[in-house]
Amino acid sequence: TQLLEQSPQFLSIQEGENLTVYCNSSSVFSSLQWYRQEPGEGPVLLVTVVTGGEVKKLKRLTFQFGDARKDSSLHITAAQPGDTGLYLCAGTTSGTYKYIFGTGTRLKVLA
């Protein structure tokens, strides 16, 4: 069973600080996604990465897929209170459209 471990589990930072969230597995993924989820809502897709070493930017968020396609990171620059939420990575292996979700990182940005 593939398992996606995220770290840290919880993160509380001040507005303006930078942070990085990690997503690690022993499995190789054909694609990996990052979602953000707010209370009472479903996860919302932020980005999909498919190529080893790929880097994508979404405003203040930078996503990287590991060269071996087993891990990924999400870096937020100058965090804002609006970034508060549960960040989830999700991966799929070749031949399936089923995504396996990570354990989640709960981020709180204090004003």
Partner 1 sequence: GAGVSQTPSNKVTEKGKYVELRCDPISGHTALYWYRQSLGQGPEFLIYFQGTGAADDSGLPNDRFFAVRPEGSVSTLKIQRTERGDSAVYLCASSLIGAYGYTFGSGTRLTVV
Of residues 8, 12, 20, 50, which one binds partner 1 by CB under 8 A? 50
Which of residues 14, 59, 94, 96 is near partner 1 by CB under 8 A?
Answer: 96
- Cα–Cα distances in Å, from 94 out to 19, 30, 35, 39, 69? 31, 5, 20, 32, 12
Contact track, partner 1, 51-90, x by CB under 8 A: -------------------------------------x-x
As given in the structure block, the two tokens for residue 84 are 């508060």
Smaller CB separation from partner 1, 19 or 100:
100
Q: Other CB atoms closer than 10 Å to residue 91's CB: what's the count?
A: 25
- Residue 110, judged by CB atoms within 10 A of its CB (0-12, 13-18, 19+), counts as exposed
Q: Does residue number 43 form part of the binding site for partner 1 (CB under 8 A)? A: yes
Query: Which residue ranges make up the site for partner 1 (CB under 8 A)?
Result: 4, 6, 31, 33, 40-45, 48, 50, 88, 90, 96-104, 106
